[in-house]
Amino acid sequence: MDLLATYGPVVDWHSIEQCFCMNCKGPARDIAKRRKMSNKLPTKVLKEEKISEIFSELCQKCQEHCSSYTHLPGGR
């Protein structure tokens, strides 16, 4: 509860630059360009609902990361 109070809730997005390998950044950037940018999200992140559209194109490592990890807005 202390972490939640300090850093806020976990978020349902992944950073294109930090969460995807070099090969998977291409499809992630393509889908980021197609979506409308929201004021609430940084420009280089994808929500999990958009990741599901390209999930089959991602490598095993990136699929595992997107399936297994969540992020705190405040960082580690």
Position 40 in a domain = yes
Position 73 in a domain = no
Position 75 in a domain = no
What is the per-residue pLDDT for 42? 53
Residue pLDDT, tens place only, 44-61: 888 888 888 899 999 999
Is 60 exceeded by the pLDDT of residue 72? yes
C-alpha to C-alpha distance for 10 and 7, rounded to whole angstroms: 8
Position 30 in a domain = yes
**Helix or strand or coil: residue 72?**
coil
Domain of residue 25, residue span: 2-68
Phi, psi angle pair for 21, to nearest 5°: -75, 175
| pTM > 0.75 | no
Is 60 exceeded by the pLDDT of residue 40? no
